[in-house]
Amino acid sequence: MAGGQERILRRRIKSVQSTKKITKAMELIAASRIVKAQARVAAARPYSDQITEVIRNLAAAGAASSNPLLVPRDEIRTVGYVVVTADRGLAGGYNSNVIRAAERDLQARRAEGKEYSLILVGKKAANYFRFRGYTIDAQFAGFSDAPTYENAREVAREVMQRYRDGSIDHVELAYTQFRSVATQRVEVRRFLPLEAAAITEGAVTGPQADYEFEPAPGAILDEIVPRYVESRLFAAFLDAAASEHAARQRAMKSATDNADELIKVLVRQMNRARQDSITTEIIEIASGAEALAQSASGESDLLRDRIEDPDLFRHFHRDLDRRAHPHSEEHQR
């Protein structure tokens, strides 16, 4: 029994060790991808800053635009949600946190009597909302860990088209903002219409250069605004990708540490089972050797011999008979 238990524990230890190798490799891969994702976030920031600065200058030059991407709707009947998740799991609570935040806001809007429209990025969001019976208007997948600007342009085109034709009156963007390797925060923020405060935020105060625009500032603004929407979405995709890798690294490190602890427990149990097996074998060998020694010398079990001897209690029985029939003994004399 002990030997069988030892074999079972050996198999379990090998299985956990194999799993540990996988989680350790995934941890190292995620760590290397975090560095690349951070570099991409830093590389995309100058473009976003410059296009924002151009819009500020156009606004300062008196650009007035009737672009629907800038004008809030008088009545909001349908709220669109762009939910950015990963295509894969094994990233701790990364996907579930974004999905819960988006669903919570969606349910609050439905309680107000508003309709919803889901535009999902990542397989995890699509699988969740489909399983829950929600209506999905568009979904995109296959680029969550390494998004490109073309991916952001494709999604932004779908969102802007639905907003322009009136299918959606307001758009919320749900994603994970990357702050550091140890800190990421889920954000559900307004995406469309664009907020004037978000564009003018961080504007330089004091004397500034005066620009002359050709064509008119309003016409340029109509061309720049869609690029600004794409750049904002691309920045969210890059933040989400970096957050995904950071969450996966932490999850795999935790899994590796748990595998180490489990291996220690299983090794301890295996050693105990081995000791029990060795002790049992020693007892069996000693008992067998004793039996062989007794068989070779012709000796038998002394206690059994004495108990089974028919004359063992003959003196005791004689004394009892003498006490019970004292006259019979005298008569015999």
In the sheet that 78-84 helps form, which strands lie side by side, from edge to edge? 136-140, 115-121, 78-84, 170-178, 184-192
179: domain CATH number is: 3.40.1380.10
Tell me whether residue 308 is in a domain: no
Tell me whether residue 2 is in a domain: no
**The dihedral sign for the CA sequence 37, 249, 24, 93:** negative
Tell me whether residue 71 is in a domain: yes
Tell me whether residue 31 is in a domain: yes
What is the predicted pLDDT for the residue at 248? 94
pTM comes to 0.77
What is the predicted pLDDT for the residue at 303? 47
What domain range includes position 54?
Answer: 22-202+211-254
Is the N-terminal amide bond of 226 cis, ω within 30° of 0? no
Tell me whether residue 158 is in a domain: yes
Per residue in 70-98, pLDDT (tens digit) is 888 889 999 999 999 999 999 999 999 99
E strands present in the chain? 78-84, 115-121, 136-140, 170-178, 184-192
What is the predicted pLDDT for the residue at 256? 95
What is the predicted pLDDT for the residue at 278? 84
Q: Which residues of the chain have pLDDT under 50?
A: 1, 302-303, 305-307, 331, 333
Burial 154-163 (b: 16+ CB within 10 A, else e): ebbebbbebb
Tell me whether residue 309 is in a domain: no
What is the predicted pLDDT for the residue at 180? 87
What is the predicted pLDDT for the residue at 96? 95
Pair 147, 175: CB distance under 8 Å: no
Per residue in 120-137, pLDDT (tens digit) is 999 999 999 999 999 999
Q: What is the CA radius of gyration of the chain?
A: 41
